[in-house]
């Protein structure tokens, strides 16, 4: 049964993955070949130039997402470990996390952004807001993972005298790997959700101008919409979807499959 399920999952990835990828790629290519649609915001020049413009925007967006994700992982793991260290810690920290999670990441933004504008580090502001939107998804899924590690598994580590670092490296981190993957998928999805806000910064800066926006898929999407350039809007959306589908098939699906081995029965 399980074997059959895995097989149909593989078939789905093998057939529908490339088909979706190719459909999106060719529709995108067709749109990107239409020079006129870029006239008001994109550099003039060859088709390749337009292609590289959107590719550049995508790389910058992915870069911001990646840095914010790495920071979220670096903060979420210690936070989850610390808060589940004992029942007392749980009773103190988990309600605090609940409250912090329910405060929208954007609520902090108008205040936080002033610091980044003053230090002329606008990318920092974007990364921070993406990081805040990602963090709690990771923390709560990791906390869930830590709480379902069977006590006997922890007992094995204790009986054989595993040192603290080895215990973390060889028992705890592998044990929460499935939840880490699930949390990462949710966190990165949250990151994509907030990318427009994160890159169109001027709306949060008092007296800000569009010159303060960051080049990225999110900001291109907003500018295309604002200028009424529907073709560009659709094209950018396609590039964004293409990137998300690519990440899903070639990163998350692979990680989800390998995470199956780490699950306790």
Partner 1 sequence: MSNPIIEFKNVSKIYADGKDAALSDINFTVDQGEFACLIGPSGGGKTTILKIIAGLEKATTGEVKKPAIIAMTFQGGALFPWLNVYENASFGLNARNRLLNGEEKYSEHKIKTETLNYVKMMGLEDFINKYPAELSGGQRQRVGIARALAVDPQVLLLDEPFSALDAKTTAELHDDLIKIWRTTEKTIVIVSHLIEEAVSLAERVILIKDRKVANIFKIELPYPRREQGLTYHQDVMKIRREFFK
Question: Which residues sit at the interface with partner 1, rule CB under 8 A?
Answer: 150, 152-153, 155-163, 166, 170-171, 174, 177, 261-265
Nearest to 190 by CA among 95, 65, 62, 60: 65
Measured CA to CA in angstroms, residue 63 lies from 71, 123, 199, 207, 216 at distances of 12, 10, 12, 28, 10
| Nearer to partner 1 (CB atom), residue 87 or residue 118 | 87
Q: Give the nearest distance from C-beta 92 to partner 1 in angstroms.
A: 16
Contact residues for 261 (Cβ-Cβ < 8 A; gap 6+): none
Between 12 and 264, name the residue whose CB sits nearer to partner 1: 264
Nearer to partner 1 by Cβ, of 111 and 152: the residue is 152
Q: Shortest Cβ distance from residue 129 to partner 1 (Å)?
A: 35
Helix (H), strand (E) counts: the chain: 12, 0
Q: Which is nearer to partner 1, 82 or 264 (CB)?
A: 264
Comparing CA positions, the residue from 105, 100, 172, 171 lying closest to residue 139 is 100
Q: How far is CA 115 from CA 72, 122, 123, 128, 141, in A?
A: 20, 9, 12, 12, 31
Q: Cβ(195)–Cβ(65) under 8 Å?
A: yes
CB of 47 to partner 1, least distance (A): 48
Rounded to a whole number of angstroms, the minimum distance from the CB of residue 166 to partner 1 is 6
Closest CA to 172 of 156, 186, 196: 156
Which is closer to partner 1, CB of 3 or CB of 118?
A: 3
Say how far apart CA 153 and CA 170 lie, in whole Å.
11
* Of 31 and 171, CB closest to partner 1: 171
Q: Are 170 and 160 in contact (CB under 8 A)?
A: no
Closer residue to partner 1 in complex, CB, 81/259? 259
CB of 170 to partner 1, least distance (A): 8
Q: Taking the complex as a whole, how short is the minimal distance between the CB of residue 256 and partner 1, in angstroms? A: 15
Sign of CA dihedral 91, 92, 93, 96: positive
What is the closest distance, in whole angstroms, from the C-beta atom of residue 173 to partner 1 in the complex? 10
- 3-class secondary structure per residue, 203-236: HHCCCCCHHHCCCCHHHHHHHHHHCCCHHHHHHH
Look at residue 121 and give its three-state secondary structure.
coil
Compare residues 234 and 255 and give the one whose CB is closer to partner 1: 255
């Amino acid at each position: 049964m399980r074997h059959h399920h895995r097989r149909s999952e593989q078939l789905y990835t093998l057939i529908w993955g490339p088909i979706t990828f190719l459909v999106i790629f060719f529709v995108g290519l067709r749109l990107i070949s239409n020079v006129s649609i870029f006239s008001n915001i994109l550099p003039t020049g060859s088709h390749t130039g337009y292609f590289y413009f959107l590719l550049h925007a995508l790389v910058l967006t992915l870069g911001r997402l990646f840095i914010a994700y790495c920071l979220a992982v670096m903060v979420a793991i210690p936070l989850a470990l610390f808060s589940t260290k004992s029942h007392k810690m749980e009773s103190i920290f988990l309600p605090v996390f609940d409250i912090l999670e329910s405060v929208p990441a954007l609520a902090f933004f108008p205040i936080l952004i002033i610091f980044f504008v003053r230090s002329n580090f606008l990318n920092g502001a974007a990364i921070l807001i993406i990081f805040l939107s990602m963090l709690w998804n990771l923390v709560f899924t990791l906390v869930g993972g830590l709480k379902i590690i069977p006590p006997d598994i922890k007992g094995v580590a204790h009986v054989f005298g595993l040192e603290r670092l080895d215990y973390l490296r060889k028992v705890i981190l592998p044990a929460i790997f499935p939840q880490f993957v699930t949390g990462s998928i949710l966190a990165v999805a949250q990151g994509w959700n907030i990318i427009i806000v994160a890159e169109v910064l001027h709306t949060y800066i008092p007296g800000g101008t569009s010159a303060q926006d960051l080049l990225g898929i999110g900001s291109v999407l907003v500018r295309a919409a604002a200028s009424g350039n529907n073709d560009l809007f659709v094209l950018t959306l396609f590039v964004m979807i293409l990137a998300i589908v690519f990440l899903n098939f070639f990163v998350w699906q692979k990680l989800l499959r390998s995470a199956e081995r780490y699950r306790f029965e």
